[in-house]
Structure 1
Amino acid sequence: MGDVLNEFRTHAGAESFAAIRRNLGETLIALDFDGVLAPIVDDPAAARAHPEAAAVLARLSPLVGAVVIITGRPAGLAVEHGGFAAVEGLTVLGHYGRERWEAGVLTTPEPPAGVAEVREKLPRVLEAAKAPAGTHIEDKGHALAVHTRRAAEPEVALERLRSILGALAEHAGLVVEPGRFVLELRPPGMDKGIALRGIVAEKKAGAVLYAGDDLGDLAAYDAVDALRAEGMPGVKVCSGSAEVTALAERADLVVDGPDGVVRLLADLAAG
């Protein structure tokens, strides 16, 4: 990537990245999956990691304190779709940290009853709301996501459904997590910021770099900001797109989608 420090949008981010380079072995590298390690596609089931992602994570893992993927997807699915099963030292936190995959072992709690209630009611709710053609449901096991990317006017469709799905989620004791043409109904009490702070403490990291692409990653950005305020070097990377600008506005460094993320990780692994 050339001199990556010249590409930083913030002085604090550039300083933190320089500190990470000096102390790579103490750094926790945390990454979202969709939009960061895998390109966004119309059908979430068809998402696959960048062809070089697994190899670069395998090179980077022994050089850093920890490599962690924090995703709204089921942890096992992220491992499968990423081709990450052979990446030694990798931790995958799925469902915003409710699930954990590590060294081939998946730990997952039972989903709350509200998820089953929403699973049963959601198709009828969408039908009654006259959801536009192209709207579809993704069943994540511990959460249900409604995607409008395939609709003729995806943003209009999303706004049309927002309050309806919010009411359904509230009745079932769930919360709504907005994203790139998606509204996810999931259990409360966990987000990527909580998951990130927990794994940073567990791994006793001395620095952190987080890369995200969507609104759900703002909580992780908040966590990086808080850790930086406490004196820990921290870098917020945005896997850039034209669909979500809120993250880019908060980022220290914006890269060109998964290609840019992989190049950044390769740059770190090269020393």
Structure 2
Amino acid sequence: MDPLPTPQTQPGRDGLAALLAKPTAAIVGLDFDGTLAPIVADPEQARAHPEAVPALAALAPKVASVAVITGRPAGVAVRYGGFAGVPGLEHLTVLGHYGAERWDAATGTITAPAPHPGVAAARAELPGVLDRAGAWHGTWIEEKGRAVAVHTRRADDPQAAFDALRGPLTALATRHGLIVEPGRLVLELRPPGMDKGVALSEHVRKTGAESVLYAGDDLGDLPAFDAVDELRSDGVFGLLVCSGSTEVTELAERADMVVDGPAGVVHLLRTLAAQLD
């Protein structure tokens, strides 16, 4: 059996110890893109790491809940992750659109409120905004239902396109009551009050969890890191894991443990499941 990585901080070591001591009172929270699935140039081609589902199926029955928390629509994450109909994943929940949508593996159903009207209005203006910014070529608009995102990874100069669009897209979002969430060469326009920290905190409180592990890779995961810090102050043990990359360093600086991308996350999940045997 492979040994578990050792967290580099005392709060992280305490969080891991609490999870191992009482897994039935633990939640494992996971981002999708960059954490369970490798980052790809075309987001529609993103798929979970080939060993992710077996690792999750081995771990999920041993903990209170496994929650995939993503900015994607819940149904898309379920499809790209291959989560539906998998034995052992009955304790899996997908919180899509930063918690606005919820899919439960036990029932296979999605629950969600009505979408924010500002998203459709902003989407209609996006082509003109991109054209006026001179950043149309190589950018790509991702329809997310309750949000809309502009990717610059395929532009001739991805970082320059990202920087050029940040101001105009922020102005567009503000006009329609939205906010801009920056990520790894992507700018997402979405309603305020939706973030992974809120989603994670609500899920922890609903389940009455005593410990929580959260793994992420991008700026959008920082609110979840903040939520774990707040939960720690309320007596919930926490372990912060960074799915490491060279594109975003902020999470690594905050994390209790850094692993090598989705492959490292999968190894951690698989090793946890084996330890709990």
* CA-CA distance at 1:62 after TM superposition: 0.9
* Aligned: 1:3 with 2:7: no
Which of residues 83, 105, 110 in structure 2 aligns to 1:106? 110
Question: What's the counterpart of residue 20 of structure 1?
Answer: 19
Correspondence for 2:170 among 162, 166, 173:
166
Is 1:186–2:190 an aligned residue pair?
A: yes
**Matching residue within 222, 231, 242 for 1:218:** 222
Pairing 1:130-209 to 2, within 5 Å after superposition? 130-131=134-135, 133-209=137-213
Secondary structure of residue in 2 paired with 1:85: coil
Q: Cα distance 1:5–1:55, how it changes in 2: closer, same or farther (>3 A)?
A: closer
Query: What's 2:43 paired with?
Result: 44
**In 2: Cα distance, 1:190 partner to 1:229 partner:** 22
Q: CA deviation at 1:109?
A: 1.9
Q: 2-side partners of 1:229 and 1:95: how far apart?
A: 27
SS in 2 for 1:164: helix
Would you say the 8 A contact 1:49–1:83 is kept in 2? yes
Q: Deviations 1:208-267 (Å, cap 9, x if unpaired)? A: 000000001000000101111222110000000000000100000000000000010011
Structure 1 residue 132: deviation in Å? Answer: 5.0
In the TM superposition, what whole-angstrom CA distance separates every residue of 1:65-120 from its partner, at most 9, and x where no partner exists?
Answer: 10001000000000000000122121100000101111210112221110110111
Alignment partners' CA distance in 1, 2:66 and 2:54: 13
CA shift for structure 1 position 4: 2.9
For the residues of structure 1 that align with 2:156 and 2:60, how far apart are their CA atoms?
A: 42
Q: What is the CA–CA distance in structure 2 between the aligned matches of 1:97 and 1:124, rounded to whole Å?
A: 30
- Distance in 2 (CA, whole Å) between partners of 1:41 and 1:9 is 30
Q: 1:124-149 CA distances to partner (integer Å, 9 max, x unpaired)?
A: 11112111521111010111100011
Distance in 2 (CA, whole Å) between partners of 1:164 and 1:12 is: 40
Structure 1 gap segments, 5+ residues each: none
SS at match of 2:192: coil
Task: Work out the CA distance in 2 between the residues paired with 1:169 and 1:26.
Answer: 39
Q: Structure 2: which amino acid aligns with 1:42?
A: A
State how far apart, in whole Å, the 2-side matches of 1:254 and 1:3 are. Answer: 15
Question: Does the C-alpha gap of structure 1 residues 3 and 56 become closer, same or farther in structure 2, counting only changes over 3 Å?
Answer: closer
TM superposition score normalised by structure 1: 0.97
CA contact 1:100–1:108 (8 Å) conserved in 2: yes
Across the two proteins, how many residue pairs are aligned to each other?
270
User: 2:4 touches 2:272 (CA, 8 Å); kept in 1?
Assistant: no
Q: Which runs of 5+ in 2 are unaligned?
A: none
Instruction: Tell me the C-alpha RMSD between the 2 structures.
Output: 1.1
114, 119, 128: which is aligned to 1:124? 128
Identity of aligned residues (%): 60
User: Does residue 242 of the first structure (1) align with residue 246 of the second (2)?
Assistant: yes
Matches of 1:216 and 1:235, distance apart in 2: 17
- The TM-score normalised by the length of structure 2 is 0.95
Q: Distance in 2 between matches of 1:119 and 1:76?
A: 21
Q: 1:3 deviation in Å?
A: 3.4
